[in-house]
Homo-oligomer: A and B are copies of this chain.
Amino acid sequence: MNSIPFHKTKLIGGFWKERQDVVLSTSLESVRARFEETGRFDAFNFAWKEGDPFRPHIFWDSDIAKWIEGASYALMLSPDSSLESYIDSVIEKICEHQEADGYFNIYFSVVEPGKRFTRRTDHELYDAGHLIEAAIAYAQATGKTAFLEAMCRYADLIDKIFRKEGSASFVTPGHEEIELALVKLYRYTGSRKYLDLALFFVDRRGCQQEEQYKDFAKQGYCQDRLPVREETEAIGHAVRAVYLYCALADLYAETGDQSLLDAAHRMFNSITEKRMYITGGIGSSHAGEAFTLDYDLPNLTAYAETCAALGLALFSRRMSSIEPDGRYADTAERAMYNGFLSGMSLDGRAFFYENPLEMIPRLKSRDVTCRSVGIRLPITQRLEVFGCSCCPPNVLRFINSIADFLYSTDKDTLYIHHYMDSETESERLKICQKTEYPYEGKICFSICSDLYRKVAFRIPGWCSSFRLECNGETIECTPVRGYVTVCLPQDNNVLVLDLSLEPLVMEADPRVLSDCGCVALTYGPLVFCMESVDNGEGLRDLAVDTQSLIFDRNGPMGLPCIRGNGYRRTIPDTLYHPVSHTYLSQSVTFIPYYAFANRGESEMCVWFRES
C-alpha cells in the first residue's frame, strides 16, 4: 500500500485544524525563540569555546533539525518567505561547517573534536537521522537541495565508516532514529545504499555485545539484548524502541522480509496488549524512560513521554499502510488524541515531556526533611523549553504533517484510516471529509476517482454501532479486521458514515495493578479526566455515578466535557474507623485528557472509582 502524503491534504476545520493553526501561529515561533535564547541556533556558528555559555549538547543538532522539519512542513502548508530565509540561514551554516569528508555534528566538531564515532551513548547517529529527515522535508518544501546534498554526503560517510569499513568504535546507534531516516532518504533519492545501511543497522542490532551503557543500563535499554528478529517484547527506552519499530515496518515494506514484519507484529502486540496506557502513552518508568513489566502502568509516576506516544503513532501509521487492520489506526488515534496531544498546552506555547495519568501536586513536598527523593513525580505545569527539549519540536513536525495518517491506497482500494475535516487531492483522486469528529460521529465524504473502485472505512474499535450510506443508499456491512469496504458505483460518490458516540466506561485488564477497582471514561477516541479545579481536591476519594454521565459540547475552556454526579466521604474524627458509608453528593465534570493542566496546578486523574 501507499500512503497519501500530508501535503496533498488541506485541513479545513475541526479538531486538528485548530491544533495546527496554533502550531503555525504560535508554537513554531515560540519554540524557535526558546531555542535561540538557549544558544541552540548560535551553536551552528561552531564558535563555542570552553568557558562560553551554552555549551553545545550532544542532541542539539536534532532539536534544530526537528524544528526545521516542522517549519518545512509549515512552508508546505502555507508559504512564508521570512521563515524560509531563516531556515536558509541555518542551512548555510550547516553547509559551511560540514567537514570535508561530509561529517556534521556540532558537539563532536566544537566540544570534543577527534572523538567522533567513539561513544555509542552520545546520540551522534540519532542527530544524523533527524538532520536527514529535516533535509528531505526542506527539499520537498522548497525544491532547494543544498541541505539534502550535504546530508547525503554525511550519510555516505556513515555508510563508509559503519557498513563498509566497520571503523567506528561501535556498530549500531545507541539511540535509534537514523534507520527510519535512511529509508526515507532511500525513498526520496532512490539510492539503494541508504536502504542497505538502514538494513545493516537493524540487522546488526543485538548481534554483538556493545557495552557502552553498562554503568547505566542493561542491554535491553537500547533494544540490544537480542537481534530484532528474536526479541519477544517491547523493551527499554520507549522512544528508541518505537523509532526502531518504525524502521522494521519501513524495511518490511521495502524488502518484503517476513521476519521483519513478524518482529513488528510482536512489538506492536507487546505494546498494545500489555504495556500501553489508555492514553497511548508508553514507557511507564522514569528510570530509563522505559518499558518495564507487562501490565505495570502506574498512573501517578507514569513517564509516558510525549515523543514516545508520537513514535507509537508513527509506528502504527506505518503498520496501517502495510496491512488493513483497524488495531493500528485505533492505536495511532489513541496516542494522537491523548498521550501525544497532552504534550502541548492549548495555547501552543508550553510542553510536557512526561504525561502522567494522575497528578497530586501536594505530594511534591513529600520528602519534607530529607533531600534524597522518595518518589519522583512528573512536573505539574508545562514548560516552554527543556534542557533535553526533544518533545517540543517533535510535536510541531507531527501536527504539521498529521494528515499523513489519513489515507493509504492499494491497486484499487482507498483506505480511510482517520477522520478529519479536510480536502485531499492526489493523482486521479479527490476526497472531501466534512465532520466534527471526534465530538460528533458523523462524517460526510465526497470521493471522486476513476482509479479506485473500492473504499475501506475504518470502524474504530471503540465504536459499537455505525451507519454507512453510499449515494443515499444504506449499506449493510460488517467490519473485517476493523474496516468496512464499499464498492464505489461511480466516479463521483457521496458517502456518509455515522459512528455512534457515547461516553464509555472502560476498565483495564485486571493485571494492571494501578487500575484495579477503577474505571476510565472515553468518548470516541478521546480519554477524559477529572481535575480538582472543576471537582475539588481529593479526587481519589470521589466516586462517580457512571449512569449519570452526559456529554456536553460546552465545557470548561470552551471544550466539550462529560458531566455527572459523584460522591465523597465525609471527613471523620479519627484516622481509622469502622466503615460508615456516609457520603456527600456533588456534580462532577470530566474534561478531555489532552487539555489537563491548562488552568494552573490541579489534581488530575484518568482512572476513578464508580459509586
Q: Which A residues lie at the B interface, using CB under 8 A?
A: 215-221, 235-237, 272-274, 276, 278, 285-288, 290-293, 296, 298, 301, 360, 362-363, 365-376, 504-513, 516-520, 538, 540-541, 543, 546, 568-572, 574-580, 609-610
A49 to chain B, nearest CB (A): 33
- Bound CA span A218–B369, Å: 5
Interchain CB contact under 8 A, B369 and A272: no
Chain B, residue nearest A273 (CB): B575
Residues of B within 8 A of A274 (CB): 575
Task: Evaluate whether A216 and B370 lie within 8 angstroms (CB atoms) in the complex, with A517-B609, A579-B507 already known.
Answer: yes
- Bound CA span A520–B577, Å: 10
A512 to chain B, nearest CB (A): 7
* Contact among B375, B508, B575 for A301, CB-based, below 8 A: B375
Interchain CB contact under 8 A, B511 and A571: yes
Residues of B within 8 A of A538 (CB): 510-511
- Bound CA span A508–B538, Å: 14
Interchain CB contact under 8 A, B578 and A237: no
- Bound CA span A576–B278, Å: 7
Task: Evaluate whether A506 and B579 lie within 8 angstroms (CB atoms) in the complex, with A293-B362, A517-B517 already known.
Answer: yes
* Contact among B286, B362, B371, B574 for A218, CB-based, below 8 A: B371
* Contact among B220, B236, B287, B292 for A372, CB-based, below 8 A: B287
Residues of B within 8 A of A362 (CB): 293
A–B complex contacts, Cβ < 8 Å, 9 sampled: A273-B574, A292-B366, A293-B363, A504-B578, A506-B576, A510-B540, A513-B540, A516-B541, A546-B579
Interchain CB contact under 8 A, A508 and B369: no
Interchain CB contact under 8 A, A578 and B217: no
A328 to chain B, nearest CB (A): 15
- Bound CA span A572–B512, Å: 12
Interchain CB contact under 8 A, A369 and B293: no
Residues of B within 8 A of A218 (CB): 368-371
Residues of B within 8 A of A217 (CB): 369-371
Interchain CB contact under 8 A, A374 and B571: no
Interchain CB contact under 8 A, A369 and B513: no
* Contact among B235, B290, B291, B371 for A216, CB-based, below 8 A: B371
Task: Evaluate whether A372 and B574 lie within 8 angstroms (CB atoms) in the complex, with A510-B569, A517-B517 already known.
Answer: no
- Bound CA span A370–B570, Å: 43
- Bound CA span A276–B546, Å: 33
Residues of B within 8 A of A518 (CB): 517
Interchain CB contact under 8 A, B374 and A576: no
Q: A506-B577, A511-B541 are in contact. List 17 more A-B contacts (CB 8 A).
A: A216-B370, A272-B575, A290-B368, A290-B369, A293-B363, A293-B368, A301-B375, A375-B375, A505-B578, A505-B579, A507-B578, A510-B538, A510-B571, A512-B575, A513-B540, A517-B540, A579-B610
Chain B, residue nearest A296 (CB): B366
Task: Evaluate whether A293 and B580 lie within 8 angstroms (CB atoms) in the complex, with A218-B371, A508-B575, A510-B541 already known.
Answer: no
- Bound CA span A371–B572, Å: 43
Residues of B within 8 A of A546 (CB): 579
Residues of B within 8 A of A577 (CB): 506-507
Interchain CB contact under 8 A, A215 and B368: no
Residues of B within 8 A of A276 (CB): 575
A284 to chain B, nearest CB (A): 9
Residues of B within 8 A of A505 (CB): 578-579
- Bound CA span A372–B568, Å: 38
- Bound CA span A304–B568, Å: 28
Residues of B within 8 A of A293 (CB): 362-363, 365-366, 368
A514 to chain B, nearest CB (A): 8
A469 to chain B, nearest CB (A): 26
Chain B, residue nearest A513 (CB): B540
A336 to chain B, nearest CB (A): 16
Residues of B within 8 A of A292 (CB): 366-368, 374
Residues of B within 8 A of A288 (CB): 367, 369-370, 372, 374
- Bound CA span A276–B576, Å: 10
* Contact among B221, B272, B371, B541 for A215, CB-based, below 8 A: B371
A526 to chain B, nearest CB (A): 13
Residues of B within 8 A of A287 (CB): 367, 370, 372-374
A276 to chain B, nearest CB (A): 7
Residues of B within 8 A of A508 (CB): 575-576
Chain B, residue nearest A295 (CB): B575
